Structure formats: C-alpha cells, structure tokens
C-alpha cells in the first residue's frame, strides 16, 4: 500500500519535473511521517525512501533509534528552544526557523555538539493568522541578524501554503517565495545560500515543483489520512 502510494507520488513528481523542464534529481521528496507508526516508516524505507519529516521533536526522539541510521530526519514543525538540543545528533535540517532567539538556540547547541545545522527560514506566505512563519518583509532583516552566528548554515526558505482544494490558488505564494529567495540569494550575504526551497505538500506539490521547489513534504498521499490533524 505505502509502496504503491510512493510509486504514484513518484510518477506525479516525474511528470511535474518534465512539465517544468527540471530534472528529477533536483527535487527531494521528504516523506512526512508525523503521527505514523514506525512500521509505516519502515515500509517507506524499504521502498527506497530516506528523507523523513516530523513536526514534533518527541516523535523524532522515539522513532530515531527504531529506524536504520541512514535515514535523514527533517524537523519541519514549530520548534521550542528548549527542545533544540535533542535534534543535534538526530536531524539533518530544521525547516521552521522563524525568530532570532530560535536561531541563536540552534547556533548555541550546534556549537556545543561540534556540528553545523542547516536551517531554512519559514515564511507565512499567505499571511494566515493560524500559521507560524515570517512575513515577507521580515525575512531579510532576520537573515542579516543571524547570518554571522556560528554553527548554522542558512540554506533557503520554507513555507506551508494554505490548505486548498485547488492547488492553482497556491501558485502565487510559491512564486513569491521563489522571487524572495532569488532576491536574497543575489545579495551574496556571508554564510547564506538560497539553494533550498521547501514548499509543496500532498495537495499542491506539483504546482510547487513547477514553481521551483527543491524539497517537497508529502504525508497524506503516502501514508493516508492522519487520525488527527497536526
Ligand atoms: C503535515 C505537514 C506536511 C504534509 O502534509 P500533507 O498534506 O499530509 O502532505 C508538510 N509540511 C508540514 C510542515 C507539515 O506539518
């Protein structure tokens, strides 16, 4: 079941890449495994998937030792500063940085752990009240503030677009995020590259790929409906 789902997601990714004149290798599929049991993650692993996304630190802590060590864990959810330390020996990237204090906490723990943490800045692309993330105008000032911090590498931008029945309605947000990332990239700020655009979920990942997503985060299309919305 999960293997079949992955196959059909892969097919849709390939088609979106072809439409956009992009190479499949330029898009990383992150399987969003939040609330799913490790058996399901193992099935995705056995089907060849290596990038998993979780939105709660606690779930990464629980699942991490139960899966093979070559899984790459992406932290994609809102992150409390006091939990940052648990990610240092487990996660490859934090997608959801939206404040200077959080970036500082990641920097501090990364230095302590002797590693560099790749981070993305989360943008609230549609300005939704219910969502975390920065306004467009707050991204560059935050980047300038945190770029000098040791232990972190700013790699790009992330957004969670509005839930929609019609993915075309999110195209404008993906376009704007891409434009912002190009604009920031051209400023050549030390320790800042904008090579990652994490955008697109089950409802809209094809449009996101057409608009330049390098990382898509797909849960429902692979694992089915979650029992509770997180
Ligand atoms: C749950 C979640 C996803 C995946 O959503 P689906 O619609 O199930 O594909 C992607 N990104 C984030 C940040 C999430 O919390």
Question: Residues 144-199: pLDDT tens digits?
Answer: 999 999 999 999 999 999 999 999 999 999 999 999 999 999 999 999 999 999 99
Nearest-atom index, ligand 1, CA of 163: 7
The answer, yes or no, to whether any atom of ligand 1 lies below 6 A from the CB of 202, is yes
Q: What is the pLDDT of residue 40?
A: 98
Rounded (5°) CA angle 63-67-69: 115
Q: Is the dihedral of CA 123, 126, 130, 136 positive or negative?
A: positive
Residue 79 φ/ψ, nearest 5 degrees: -125, 130
- pTM score > 0.95 for this model? yes
> What CA–CA distance (Å, rounded) separates 29 from 223?
14
Q: Which residue's entry shows tokens 């094809």?
A: 206
The answer, yes or no, to whether any atom of ligand 1 lies below 6 A from the CB of 63, is no
Atom 13 (ligand 1) nearest CA: 76
- Among 76, 96, 228, the mutation site with the greatest number of ligand 1 atoms within 8 A of its Cβ is 76
Number of neighbours of residue 17 by Cβ within 10 angstroms: 18
Nearest-atom index, ligand 1, CA of 158: 13
Cα 169 to averaged position of ligand 1 atoms, centre (Å) = 17
Write out the DSSP string of 85-128.
GGGTTTEEEEEEE-SHHHHHHHHHHHHHHT--EEEEEEE-TT--
For residue 229, pLDDT beyond 60? no
For residue 228, pLDDT beyond 80? no
Q: What is the pLDDT of residue 227?
A: 80
Nearest-atom index, ligand 1, CA of 203: 7
């Amino acid at each position: 079941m999960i293997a079949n789902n992955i196959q059909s997601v892969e097919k849709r990714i390939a088609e979106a890449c072809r439409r956009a004149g992009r190479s499949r290798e330029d898009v990383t599929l992150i399987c969003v495994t939040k609330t799913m049991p490790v058996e399901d993650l193992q099935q995705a692993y056995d089907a060849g998937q290596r990038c998993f996304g979780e939105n709660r630190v606690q779930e990464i802590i629980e699942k991490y030792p139960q899966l093979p060590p070559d899984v790459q864990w992406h932290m994609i959810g809102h992150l409390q500063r006091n939990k940052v330390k648990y990610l240092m020996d487990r996660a490859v990237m934090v997608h959801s940085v939206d404040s200077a204090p959080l970036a500082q906490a990641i920097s501090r723990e990364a230095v302590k752990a002797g590693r560099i943490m790749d981070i993305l800045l989360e943008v609230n692309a549609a300005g939704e009240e219910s969502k975390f993330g920065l306004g467009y105008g707050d991204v560059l000032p935050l980047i300038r503030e945190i770029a000098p911090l040791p232990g972190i590498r700013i790699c790009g931008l992330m957004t969670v677009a509005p839930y929609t029945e019609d993915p075309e309605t999110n195209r404008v947000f993906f376009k704007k995020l891409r434009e912002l990332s190009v604009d920031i990239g051209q400023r050549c700020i030390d320790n800042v590259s904008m090579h990652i655009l994490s955008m697109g979920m089950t409802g809209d990942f094809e449009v996101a790929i057409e608009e330049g997503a390098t990382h898509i985060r797909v849960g429902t299309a692979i694992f089915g409906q979650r029992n509770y919305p997180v």
